[in-house]
Amino acid sequence: MLSQIKQKILTKQRITFEEGLFLYNSNDLLTIGSLGKLAREIKSGKEKSKWVYWNKNLHLNPTNVCIGRCNFCAFAKLPNDKGAYTYTIDEALEHVRRGVNSGAGEVHIVGGLNPKAALPYYTELLKAIKQTFPSLHIKGFTAVEIDFFSKLKKITPRETLELLIDAGLNSLPGGGAEIFSKSVRDTTCPDKIPAQTWLEIHNTAHKLGLKSNATMLCGIGEKAEDRLDHMIRLREQQDKSKGFQTFIPLHCHYEDTEIAGKIEPVTAFDSLKNIAISRIILDNFDHIKAYWIQLGTGLAQIGLNFGADDLDGTIQEESVTHAAGAGKKGLEKDFIQRLIEDAGYIPVERDTVYNVLAVAGC
């Protein structure tokens, strides 16, 4: 079966659900990794097969108030909980200013489902950011938030996206996808929009000319079958709307979450399989990200030899995974580039939509 899969990768044929399952059930990690790497080389093309992308970015989490109940989340607070916050526009701008002063070209905005932070708050925020930092790329709001703003204002997701685009939104991040399977969603994040709505909102964003990303959150009780179902639904959506840039396999951190101690954590083997198998299955996604905040810099670096071609960025001010116990906040650009070089690749600084800003050594 492994040689059959290799042959299909070489001849650019689609890998099936069953073949993906065979890979998840195998412990031949190095072979799976070499197939991921091969798929990446074919996808990148010869000239770019040694390129690994990174960017200078910051995260802004304007509020942690969220009325959704996700059992894997340590970030969300109810409105009257100790530690609940919602930034004023000036406070949010101050966060952004710190990032921009350290060179960030992208702000990744994600908050919670906070009835008091509705669409007018966010359009004002985006306008203020664009007025102060006109060239900063705003990647903001999960499909779950877009749906929430729409319902509060009693307008469609399309109208919400149009208002946000008018205010300065440039692209959508990949959050809120979690695991698409209904049974996993029902137990882990019952208040989140169903998979179909998540996909439809990205479809609409793509039609409106926005690029977006897609995530998959592992270690929340899903099976390999659920991961493959998730990736294949993304692949089908991408065939139709073509606006996804990057797939990001996430893995859960449990500190201060409801599921701490109740679930088998994702292992290093599993995380590396996610990178390699997603690269093999998602033949119509240009990029696979090894998200160092969640993987740790060591595993993210190894992921570059398993099919990932992107390390995300310097990531200042991230709070969602740090609330659940992730280690380091923010990386120096020199260190990111060293991680890439030591893994045998060429660091390529990019903007959010993969325009090349600098190729190391050129």
Return d(Cα 60, Cα 62) in angstroms, integer: 6
At 135, give phi and psi (nearest 5°): -95, 0
The answer to whether 321 contacts ligand V47 (rule: CB under 6 A) is yes
Return d(Cα 9, Cα 38) in angstroms, integer: 8
Return d(Cα 315, Cα 60) in angstroms, integer: 10
Measured CA to CA in angstroms, residue 49 lies from 41, 52, 53, 150, 191 at distances of 5, 8, 11, 41, 41
Q: Out of 43, 56, 235, 253, point to the residue binding ligand V47 (CB under 6 A).
A: 253
The contact pattern for ligand V47, residues 71-90, with x = CB under 6 A and - = no contact, is -xxx----------------
Nearest distance in Å: CB 248, ligand V47: 5
The answer to whether 64 contacts ligand V47 (rule: CB under 6 A) is no
- Closest residue by Cα to residue 218 from 299, 275, 300: 275
Concatenating the DSSP letter of every residue in 53-67 gives EEE-EEEE--B-B--
Q: Which parts of 24-53 interact with ligand V47 (CB under 6 A)?
A: none
Return d(Cα 99, Cα 322) in angstroms, integer: 18
The contact pattern for ligand V47, residues 124-163, with x = CB under 6 A and - = no contact, is ------------------x---------------------
The answer to whether 213 contacts ligand V47 (rule: CB under 6 A) is yes
The answer to whether 303 contacts ligand V47 (rule: CB under 6 A) is no
The answer to whether 250 contacts ligand V47 (rule: CB under 6 A) is yes
The answer to whether 331 contacts ligand V47 (rule: CB under 6 A) is no
Residue range at the interface with ligand V47 (CB under 6 A); choices 20-28, 170-178, 202-210, 297-305: 170-178
Return d(Cα 259, Cα 250) in angstroms, integer: 16
**Could you tell me whether strands 171-172 and 287-288 are parallel, antiparallel, or unpaired per DSSP bridges?**
unpaired
Query: What dihedral angle (degrees, nearest 10) is formed by the CA atoms of 288, 290, 293, 297?
Result: -160
Instruction: Please say which residue, 32 or 348, places its beta carbon nearer to ligand V47.
Output: 348
Q: Out of 324, 331, 339, 348, point to the residue binding ligand V47 (CB under 6 A).
A: 324
The contact pattern for ligand V47, residues 261-300, with x = CB under 6 A and - = no contact, is ------------------------------x--x------
| Footprint on this chain of ligand V47 (rule: CB under 6 A) | 72-74, 110, 142, 173-176, 178, 213, 215, 217, 248, 250, 252-253, 257, 291, 294, 312, 320-321, 324
